Amino acid sequence: MSARDSQYDRGPGMSDDLVLLAERLQERRPVPSSAFRGELRRRLLALRRHRHPRPERLRALIGAYASSGVLLLLVGALSTAGVGPLAA
């Protein structure tokens, strides 16, 4: 197969050597064995079954984190304005 008949889109400035190298790397790419792929699939499916449930009070936790973040931003903004506990 020549570089002109390649499956790769040739952008401006892409040389024929680069296209041929890409094709050669694609053809010689190692493929994992079927035993490895099967074991990987089994492990991934087992992980899916053992997911941790959401915390009971997830909305309360989100609200607490968001409000404390807003409070810290407010203290920082006041401090840069010269007002508040950290004013310089």
Do 33 and 68 share a domain, yes or no?
Answer: no
Q: Reduced to 3 DSSP states, what percent helix, strand and coil does the chain have, rounded to the nearest 5? A: 60, 0, 40
pTM: 0.41
Q: How many residues does the chain have?
A: 88
Each of the 88 residues of the chain gets a pLDDT tens digit; together they read 555 555 656 666 678 888 888 889 988 988 899 999 999 999 998 888 777 788 889 999 999 999 999 999 998 888 888 887 777 6
- The span from the CA of 35 to the CA of 75, in Å, is 57
Tokens representing 16 are 């024929």
Give the per-residue pLDDT at 4.
Answer: 53
Do 1 and 37 share a domain, yes or no?
Answer: yes
Do 79 and 68 share a domain, yes or no?
Answer: yes
Do 84 and 72 share a domain, yes or no?
Answer: yes
Phi-psi region of 71 (alpha: psi -120 to 50; beta: other; left: phi over 0): alpha
